[in-house]
């Protein structure tokens, strides 16, 4: 486990939190709301892609060893590619494909966090 400590990376990750797609399935539950929800999903997906690009750019500032840095960049690129695919799917109204793509994006985030995020400190009184 290697914790990546970088202020700019922290800021990018905070921005990623604002691109949550958690409500998307509910937003698509209405004929009048689908277009608005798809436009919002497209915009959030582009924001996610932009953030992933920034992650890859600052990889050399993370203090990772070269091999770890390459894995970090590869995951950032996978995140960007998934986000761009999601944007394309939203723009073309391919909602069924979006669910799979969102799962793949989530899996990429989880993989990166497992490799590079510091473990959460144990709370007092827990075993």
Mean pLDDT of 53-57: 86
- Look at residue 100 and tell me if it is in a domain: yes
pTM for this model (two decimals):
0.76
CATH of the domain at 28: 1.20.120
Residue with tokens 């770890």: 68
Instruction: Look at residue 83 and tell me if it is in a domain.
Output: yes
**In a domain? residue 121:** no
Q: Give the number of domains in the chain.
A: 1
Domain extent at residue 93: 7-116
In this predicted structure, the answer to whether residue 1 has a pLDDT above a threshold of 60 is no
Tokens 């990772």 sit on residue: 64
Question: Residue 44's pLDDT is what?
Answer: 86
| The length of the chain, given as a count of residues | 127
**With 90 as the cut, is the pLDDT of residue 20 above it?**
no
23 in Cβ contact with 40 (< 8 Å): no
Residue 50 within a domain: yes
19: left (phi over 0), alpha (psi -120 to 50) or beta: alpha
Task: Evaluate whether residue 88 is within a structural domain.
Answer: yes
Place of tokens 């827990």: 126
d(CA 121, CA 86) in angstroms, rounded, equals 34
- The answer to whether residue 55 scores a pLDDT higher than 90 is no
């Amino acid at each position: 486990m290697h914790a990546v400590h970088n202020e700019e990376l922290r800021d990018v990750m905070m921005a990623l939190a604002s691109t949550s797609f958690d409500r998307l399935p509910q937003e698509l539950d209405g004929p009048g709301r689908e277009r608005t929800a798809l436009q919002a999903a497209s915009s959030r997906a582009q924001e996610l892609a932009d953030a992933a690009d920034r992650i890859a750019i600052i990889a050399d500032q993370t203090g990772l060893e070269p091999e770890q840095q390459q894995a970090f960049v590869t995951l950032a690129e996978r995140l960007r590619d998934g986000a761009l695919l999601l944007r394309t799917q939203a723009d073309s109204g391919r909602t069924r494909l979006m669910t799979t793509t969102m799962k793949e994006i989530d899996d990429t985030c989880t993989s990166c966090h497992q490799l590079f995020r510091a473990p959460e400190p144990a709370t007092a009184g827990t075993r």
